[in-house]
Amino acid sequence: MSERLLSEIEALYHQPLFDLITQSRKVLVENWKTSEVQLCSLLSIKTGGCSEDCSYCSQSAHHHTEIDRKELLDRETVMSHARQAKADGATRFCMGAAWKGVKEGDSKLDQVCEMVADVATLGMEVCVTLGELTGKAAERLKKAGVTAYNHNLDTSPEFYPSIVTTHTFEDRLRTIRHVQNTGMSVCCGGIIGMGETVTDRLRLMQVLTGFDPSPESVPINCLSPIPGTPLAEQEPVDIFDLVRLVATARLLFPKAKVRLSAGRTRLTREGQALCFFAGANSIFFGQKLLTAKNPQVEQDMALLEQLGIRNHKHPTEILKKSC
């Protein structure tokens, strides 16, 4: 797939807001059930002590943050979280580890593969985010049952060196290519509110339009400012900037799940409703993300109910119906 022109993406993004969301709504309606969003559950399977210096992240060993470091969870603990997530309605279970990455031959990769195989028996989509992968590590994860690998580019190639210096944008792209080569789906998006410009946000979108295949999901995170990180004092993102980006992502990636990810605690109910109207069709639910707060489950359920939005059908329910 060749990248869309930046000028085309800018023209979409900068049109009058109601014209933009009228278009993005149409694309959402044509491709998705607008009365459903996917509920995803997130679990940090290894927390803190990461060698990388990502300036937004609570888990970097370069910053002095107040998180409880935790070594890799055991299989049983992960499985009990996954069972609970399924019982709570999640159709996707995402496991995240604070690692620079994993290689074949690492015992930690063997352990994650066992967790993945366990969770896959529950019939949920299984997503992992473990940092850099070699081609062989990606193959092992695919064989173990991973359905999607999350590896965000986070921002534009130009702004990336201002937020991370221990690895490069090109390193991130290499991992994504390894994942694509296995046939695993790619979940790739970014963070807004780190001090980047609108052009940086749209350059990220532009890079994503060059992916072949197109990303299966595009998480849009609003920075969750973490005390002790260099970005602790960043101002919240303007809601209309977020809505514009969600709508633009919907137009560029009609078949992707556009996931309203971190930072929802700083959004109003009305703001979130507008994001769903404009094209978002997935959220992380549960009271914690990896380390940061997420809205209370009851609040999320009440909001979805008020909007008349249901959970995506569980994959096993769809199977039962078609048998």
Q: Is 191 in the site for ligand SAM (CB under 6 A)?
A: yes
Known catalytic membership, residue 222: no
Closer residue to ligand SAM, CB minimum distance, 23 or 221: 221
- Residue 228 C-beta: closest distance to ligand SAM, Å: 11
Q: Pattern of binders to ligand SF4 over 115-134, x per CB under 6 A?
A: ----------------x---
- Residue 59 C-beta: closest distance to ligand SF4, Å: 4
Q: Is 116 in the site for ligand DTB (CB under 6 A)?
A: no
Instruction: For the segment 6-65, give every residue that binds ligand DTB (CB under 6 A).
Output: 42, 58
Closer residue to ligand DTB, CB minimum distance, 23 or 95: 95
Residues whose CB falls within 8 Å of the CB of residue 77, separated by 6 or more in sequence, listed in order: none
Query: Which residue in this structure is represented by tokens 């800018």?
Result: 10
Distance from CA of residue 187 to its chain's centroid?
6
Residue 223 interacts, among ligand SAM, ligand DTB, ligand SF4, none and using kind-specific CB cut-offs from 5 to 8 Å, with: ligand SAM
Output the DSSP codes for 218-247. Answer: EEEEEP---TTSTTTTPPPPPHHHHHHHHH
Q: Is 124 in the site for ligand DTB (CB under 6 A)?
A: no
Closer residue to ligand SAM, CB minimum distance, 12 or 208: 208
Residue among 186, 268, 192 nearest 234 (CA): 192
Backbone angles phi, psi at 167, to 5 degrees: -150, 170
Residues whose CB falls within 8 Å of the CB of residue 194, separated by 6 or more in sequence, listed in order: 55, 56, 155, 159, 163, 223, 231, 234
Q: Which of 40, 92, 113, 127 is catalytic?
A: 127
Q: Is 60 in the site for ligand SF4 (CB under 6 A)?
A: yes
Residues whose CB falls within 8 Å of the CB of residue 31, separated by 6 or more in sequence, listed in order: 254, 255
Give, for 220, the enclosing helix (H) or strand (E). strand 217-222
Residue 60 interacts, among ligand SAM, ligand DTB, ligand SF4, none and using kind-specific CB cut-offs from 5 to 8 Å, with: ligand SF4
In eight-state DSSP terms, residue 264 is: G
Known catalytic membership, residue 50: yes
Is 195 buried (19+), middle (13-18) or exposed (0-12) by CB count in 10 A? Answer: middle
- Residue 19 C-beta: closest distance to ligand SF4, Å: 36
Is 178 buried (19+), middle (13-18) or exposed (0-12) by CB count in 10 A? Answer: buried
What are 289's two structure tokens? Answer: 């993300």
Is 171 buried (19+), middle (13-18) or exposed (0-12) by CB count in 10 A? Answer: middle
Strands 310-311 and 101-102, sheet pairing: unpaired
Known catalytic membership, residue 54: yes
Q: Pattern of binders to ligand DTB over 152-191, x per CB under 6 A?
A: x------------------------------------x--
Q: Is 52 in the site for ligand SF4 (CB under 6 A)?
A: yes
What are 94's two structure tokens? Answer: 């995402």
Q: Is 221 in the site for ligand SAM (CB under 6 A)?
A: yes
- Residue 221 C-beta: closest distance to ligand DTB, Å: 5
Count the residues of the shown chain that bind ligand SF4, applying the rule CB under 6 A: 8
Residues with catalytic roles? 50, 54, 57, 94, 127, 187, 259
Q: Which positions touch ligand DTB (CB under 6 A)?
A: 42, 58, 94, 96, 129, 150, 152, 189, 219, 221, 224, 261-262, 289-292
